[in-house]
A and B are shown apart, each in its own frame.
Chain A
């Protein structure tokens, strides 16, 4: 679909070569703008208002793809592709990784805790938006040049010519910036080990001394239908044991309690087996009766 749209914009660019300054774009582009623009705004709003951050991330990815389409429509072919590949493909996936790390299922409460913050935000947002739109409207930008001439030698070539001549220093500096950012991220997430790692023997001795769990921790609860790690194993009295679930899930409160479920399941199994047994018994009796009749 992206390719199609790009082709469409390309055709527009060809059209625009005839007249340098235009006042209006093609109807197709207008149609595309109104449809996709609406979707982009909805996506942005969903990014803000979705309770789960993973949903927000997905909505944002959608908005970004639409923006990529708009870039293509505006003659920025290279940027359109980069938007999809780098932004949506790499950066948003980085976001998703972090969302996974922090807890994919955790839902945020949207209840405001700072007094007046929401109203202030609304007021500022409205004021800012209205003023910005007023500014754009005030600027009387009815005429536009179009990129036909600039893109005549190819969009990528044109960009390259600019990057490696006029913007070469900015380009080099952004390179340095990227490396610094990468190093910074490593420094931030790196944890220095300040003491010698304990050997297995030392840990065992420590456990004996502390009279803690000596053998390995018990495995999570395993049933015929559920063998996931988030189900606590049941103690003989039927209550779930915390020890059987890993601490990360415990902290996030993501342990699935299946104790009553297990009982329900057990009942269902019993009932079903009884039914089967009953039916079988009935058939048996029937068979016996038939045999007896014979």
Chain B
């Protein structure tokens, strides 16, 4: 009947605003950023990046209501800058960090893949999973993984 679409949780219709910026009427250099169709995933991570900036006096986020899929971030900065600039910088830094992590993961994947039996081979001969020995500190103990996990769909 009047139920919203299932994808309403994360999908913003094309042409609609992603973010609404409301400058604080009483405090200087403070604003709230309402981001539509985002949740703790982005709220928390943006807050973390904002708090790393020395010019940020306050940064916090909340998801005001579980049925409204928006997140509110409040930022207050020093007089040297503006909240919008700090959020823009935080987002830029996030892209750098995630991009860096992604390349790191891809690099390590090459090393890890060399030690793995191809998927098809593995399913035919039930072999133990190959361990990639952790070469980093502190203790070189590999934890044994179990073999294939079958899904029991009996009813």
A binds B: no
Q: Residues on B close to A: CB < 8 A?
A: none
What residues of chain A have their CB less than 8 Å away from a CB belonging to chain B?
none
